Structure 1
Amino acid sequence: MEEQPTTRPTPADGAEERAPPVEVEVEYGDDEEEEPPRSATAKQEEASAALGAEGSRPFTPRELLGEINAEAAEADGSGGGGGTGSAFGEGNGTVSADERSSSSQESMQQSSSHHDVAVDLINSVTGVDDEGRSRQRILSFAGKRYVSAIERNPDDPDAYYNWALVLQESADNVDPNSGSSKDSLLEEACKKYAEATRLSPTLYDAYYNWAIAIADRAKTRGRTKEAEDLWKQAILNYEKAVQLNWNSPQALNNWGLGLQELSAIVPAREKQTIIKTAISKFRVAIQLQFDFHRAIYNLGTVLYGLAEDTMRSGRPDVSANELYSQSAIYVAAAHALKPNYSVYRSALRLVRMMLPLPYLKVGYLTAPPANNAIAPHSDWERSQFVLNHEGLQQVDGSNQPPSQSPGNTDGGRKPTRIAVADIVSVAASADLTLPPGAGLCIDTVHGARFLVADSWEALDGWLDALCLVYTIFARGKSDVLAGIITG
């Protein structure tokens, strides 16, 4: 039976993607071709791209489990914590008690009880099935290993970080019918992340995964004051992660999701500002990675929610229909990039008719005469443009796109037409020779074409739409987009 659309598109479940450990990483979730996981860790290549620097490259839980499983087998399943040095590389040797600072000793004494609690919690997890139970035995072995590493060197941030990852992975492995407390495991993981960042304030991975752990705790608390406080903590950690690594679309996407969740809890007077900030985070994430379908879809959902709020409030300065149309563009683009995701497919059924079919986007731009980009401003003409899977076209005087008009009726003026296959790059332009407005430069194989949007906000919409259409074309999915807008 075909899925029924939801009443409104909701953020992709688990669009949060975890970054992994230092020297040993743990991956959360299955292959990306399946439905978006609730809280999936980024694949190794995503983590590498997010971090950018080899020295702090994260690892996934799957790799960690594989390495520890091999070591556990060598130890004949004894579960001992020997061989901790190999987990962190040669640069993480132990130090004697005489070499430790007094502050480190005090810190260790204060945290020893936390280690005991964490070990008890991780040992209480049974796993949902045979695979989960096997996985949990490995995690328990890993837990002992990192406790031993911390006892040997309480100033090792990697040990705290990896211990936190094991606790976070165990929280995902909790059997809902067991007496184990997922929230308590996440709380202990947060304590370990806090200690890791205290010892190494520039550890991007720790801030990033710490934020995800806090967000997972917030999700279980509904729309309460406690949930609001947790979401604010998660947002601060995502912000810190982005400060340490601005080139991380995953962190920006998760930051946007946190703001989106927070906007549903705070008083109405604060909501608009938070929503606009969330939109900016999703947009920057997409600009960093234009095939990042989760961020594309999430931007669609936040715009849809903003359209609904605008419709209810009746604000005269904002068009709800325009917001609905913008929302539909992002949902359609996400579906075109990942047509097998039922979440996107269901949302598309809800918003498809909000598109200016048979086009993806319709709006106004000011264009120069054909082949004369430096014409006087008086010769530039503001007219309607349409964008579909084939490219951008100027509507001529007959109010028909060039491909549908039997002839030009605009005094011989040749309408602008840019095929998506000819596009090389798309960017905002501050060229001082352009007419007033927000400049747009579309570089093509035939040369640069300049257009002007009515405002910088309108330009953002054109930039995103053009880049998404090109990305869909480059990924070989233009036929999917064509089916959406012409089907």
Structure 2
Amino acid sequence: MSATPEEEPQLQNGAVEPEPEPEREPETETVTDADPQLDESKETAIQSNDAVNSPPSPVEHIAGPELRKDQGSRTFTMRELLSELKDDETSEGEYRHTTNGSEGERRDTSSPYSQESIQQQQQHIDQNNATMDLINSVTGVDEEGRSRQRILTFAARRYASAIERNPDDYDALYNWALVLQESADNVAPDSNSPSKDDLLEEACKKYDEATRLCPTLHDAYYNWAIAISDRAKMRGRTKEAEELWKQATKNYEKAVQLNWNSPQALNNWGLALQELSAIVPAREKQTIVKSAISKFRAAIQLQFDFHRAIYNLGTVLYGLAEDTLRTGGSVNSKEVSPNELYSQSAIYIAAAHALKPNYSVYRSALRLVRSMLPLPFLKVGYLTAPPAGKPIAPHSDWKRSQFVLNHEGLQQLDKIEQQQVLQNLSGRSGEAVTSNKLAVKVDIADIVSVSACADLTLPPGAGLCIDTIHGPVFMVADSWDSLDGWLDAILLVYTIFARGKSDVLAGIITG
């Protein structure tokens, strides 16, 4: 049920919606402010697993028909491809893929291998014709879609011809698979066109062939995983869907192994694991969820302003909090409590909103989780630190105390201030604490870098180094898990500051 803009959305159990549609060319595309707006009518809950919106086709690039293997996976925008293919159509006339008179059939029949070659050739021609029949029968839902499909159909004919000439042309196979994947997005819901699943299945076969011929083609593994994921979504929470999600995660893993510097692949891998966790037996779920968390976090570490991965990490933590609460809370003291998980979730969702305040789905989610933040702060927790002004001090002088993080910086609290913070949190009064001049304090504007560290001069534990323009500041977190939370929170606040969005974050935590 949709809520009107005046209505406050209600929390729903497990309703966490990852920032959806992955991109199909991670090496050539970047996330920009030109992303499509998300539907305002979906601001009813933090929903799960790609249910909120269906933006335009995520494939923004199709490799051009003139690709050569020594060029790598050079891609063209649809506009460039349109121009090139229109020129080719003009020069070549109405090209049709046929089995008569094609270059692939002009073989030397006197060769001792001719019979075998002819049989293989005919087999490829039959397969190509069947695939072309699928593409030819696709019609777009509007004029733009029909124009786009004409381009895709023409490109498919060229790739089919290339494969007839050379069945081992993995570039042509890869690009043809992309065309099939694009065509699947052009299938009208209520038409006589082939089903989207048929086109995606054929695309998967082409990716399979391409990667068999070129096992290092990481783009193919990445896009293949997306095609498998799209097929899995059509099957709901079934055993068949479970197997498809497992296949998708394996292909994302292979893509990351071949190209580790791809935050998009890591983000999509996390999304696939999140989908899989909703299907597998309960005993397997927590392991898969933790793996998804690690993938989102790895994506953020590669690109700290990657708002999709930031938001997705918030949603998976929210879902974990729901599951933990439903099963009776933490099993032991080492596990994070549901309240802490909710608070962590809110930090990431707030950060995603600060980076992309115009995204309605982020805004809707923030309304649901903002009260879970330790307002008027973004994060409150404990760190062990040396006395203020004495970074090098005996371990006995280091004290574990409460720290607060907001849009301006990280600050240590004394006992009186800690009591004030506890009162604020219990009463949600929103009053700021009095600044302690003798406390350890780090201004966000002064930060140069933030990292985990291991140093014999520090007390035992998970070391944190915040390098500033005034010199390094060292602290120790209670655990390595706690350190991850502090690292992410500080780096996110710094990234928001560097992007000029601190005022948005300030409005979230103090407004």
Note if 1:5 corresponds to 2:12. Answer: no
Partner of residue 86, structure 1: none
Partner of residue 426, structure 2: none
**How far did 1:141 drift?**
0.8
TM score, norm. by length of structure 1: 0.87
Note if 1:395 corresponds to 2:413. Answer: yes
Q: Residue type matched to 2:503 in 1?
A: D
Q: State the distance in 2 between where 1:323 and 1:250 align.
A: 24
Note if 1:443 corresponds to 2:484. Answer: no
Q: Residue type matched to 2:480 in 1?
A: W
Q: Which moved more, 1:283-292 or 1:9-18?
A: 9-18
Partner of residue 51, structure 1: none
Partner of residue 41, structure 1: 58
1:316 aligned to which of 331, 340, 352: 331
Note if 1:452 corresponds to 2:469. Answer: no
**Over the residues paired in the alignment, what is the CA RMSD in angstroms?**
3.3
**How far did 1:205 drift?**
0.7
Q: State the distance in 1 between where 2:169 and 2:112 align.
A: 14
Q: State the distance in 2 between where 1:473 and 1:242 align.
A: 30
List gaps (5 residues or longer) in structure 2.
39-52, 64-69, 99-105, 422-430
Note if 1:333 corresponds to 2:375. Answer: no
Q: State the distance in 2 between where 1:172 and 1:445 align.
A: 50
Partner of residue 427, structure 2: none
Equivalent residues of 2:347, 2:489 under 8 A apart: yes
**How far did 1:80 drift?**
4.8
Matches within 5 A, 1:68-467: 68-75=84-91, 78-80=94-96, 110-180=123-193, 181-314=195-328, 315-317=330-332, 318=335, 319-400=337-418, 408=436, 414-467=438-491
**How far did 1:66 drift?**
2.4
Q: State the distance in 2 between where 1:20 and 1:428 align.
A: 28
**How far did 1:110 drift?**
4.6
Q: State the distance in 2 between where 1:118 and 1:136 align.
A: 15
Equivalent residues of 2:26, 2:265 under 8 A apart: no
Q: Residue type matched to 2:229 in 1?
A: A
**How far did 1:114 drift?**
2.9
- Partner SS state of residue 281, structure 1: helix
2:502 aligned to which of 465, 478, 483: 478
Q: State the distance in 1 between where 2:316 and 2:494 align.
A: 23
**How far did 1:62 drift?**
1.7
Equivalent residues of 1:14, 1:39 under 8 A apart: no
Q: State the distance in 2 between where 1:106 and 1:239 align.
A: 37
Equivalent residues of 1:304, 1:324 under 8 A apart: yes
Equivalent residues of 1:303, 1:324 under 8 A apart: yes
Equivalent residues of 1:439, 1:453 under 8 A apart: yes
The verdict on how the C-alpha distance between 1:456 and 1:449 changes in structure 2, with shifts beyond 3 A counting, is same
Equivalent residues of 2:163, 2:173 under 8 A apart: yes
Q: Which moved more, 1:132-141 or 1:68-77?
A: 68-77
Q: State the distance in 1 between where 2:112 and 2:381 align.
A: 69
Equivalent residues of 2:18, 2:271 under 8 A apart: no
Note if 1:18 corresponds to 2:36. Answer: no
Partner of residue 428, structure 2: none
TM-superposition CA deviations, 1:229-252 (whole Å, max 9, x none): 110111110000000000100000
Q: State the distance in 2 between where 1:103 and 1:469 align.
A: 65
Equivalent residues of 2:376, 2:432 under 8 A apart: no
The verdict on how the C-alpha distance between 1:417 and 1:445 changes in structure 2, with shifts beyond 3 A counting, is same
**How far did 1:32 drift?**
1.6
**How far did 1:57 drift?**
4.3
Equivalent residues of 1:202, 1:244 under 8 A apart: yes
**How far did 1:179 drift?**
2.0
**How far did 1:256 drift?**
0.3
Q: Residue type matched to 1:368 in 2?
A: P
Q: State the distance in 2 between where 1:214 and 1:434 align.
A: 48
Q: Residue type matched to 2:139 in 1?
A: T
- Partner SS state of residue 231, structure 2: helix
2:35 aligned to which of 27, 32, 35: 32
Q: State the distance in 2 between where 1:30 and 1:194 align.
A: 34
Q: Residue type matched to 2:9 in 1?
A: P
Q: Residue type matched to 2:363 in 1?
A: R
Equivalent residues of 1:104, 1:154 under 8 A apart: no
TM-superposition CA deviations, 1:150-181 (whole Å, max 9, x none): 11111110000010000100000111111221
The verdict on how the C-alpha distance between 1:101 and 1:256 changes in structure 2, with shifts beyond 3 A counting, is farther
Equivalent residues of 1:255, 1:281 under 8 A apart: yes
Q: Which moved more, 1:391-400 or 1:473-482?
A: 391-400
The verdict on how the C-alpha distance between 1:139 and 1:103 changes in structure 2, with shifts beyond 3 A counting, is same
Equivalent residues of 1:296, 1:330 under 8 A apart: yes
Q: State the distance in 2 between where 1:132 and 1:303 align.
A: 38
Q: State the distance in 1 between where 2:82 and 2:351 align.
A: 37
**How far did 1:11 drift?**
3.0
- Partner SS state of residue 362, structure 1: strand
Q: State the distance in 2 between where 1:68 and 1:200 align.
A: 27
TM score, norm. by length of structure 2: 0.83
- Partner SS state of residue 449, structure 1: strand
**How far did 1:351 drift?**
0.6
Aligned-pair identity in percent equals: 68
Q: State the distance in 1 between where 2:462 and 2:242 align.
A: 38
